[in-house]
Amino acid sequence: MLENLNDNSCLEPPKYSKDYVYRCDICDEEIFEGDSYYEIDSLIYCPECMEMHFKFTAISTDMEGYLSDLEHEDITN
């Protein structure tokens, strides 16, 4: 069993010479010492995934419509 494991690791050449500290739980991106990363609910996110999954662009027209709806409710109540 140990010999098989060794053979498998030899088949995969190391992509990076430097050891990573963490791996992104979403895209498996290596996060190296000194790199920024995000941790939410013990999941590790690289900055790219953080932007992709948690960064949104505020659209003011939707917010205005939401607020005016609230104001309208207040008036009718």
Q: Which two tokens stand for residue 75?
A: 């008036």
Q: Which two tokens stand for residue 49?
A: 């995934």
Q: Whole-number minimum distance, CB 39 to Zn ion, in Å? A: 12
Binding residues with Zn ion: total (CB under 5 A) = 6
Binding mask 7-46 for Zn ion (x = CB under 5 A): -----------------x-xx-x----------------x
Q: Does 52 bind Zn ion (CB under 5 A)?
A: no
CA distance 27 to 51: 13
Residue number with CB closer to Zn ion (28 or 74): 28
Identify whether the C-beta of residue 22 lies closer than 8 Å to the C-beta of residue 47.
Answer: no
CB atoms within 10 A of CB 46: 22
Q: Give the binding site for Zn ion (CB under 5 A).
A: 24, 26-27, 29, 46, 49
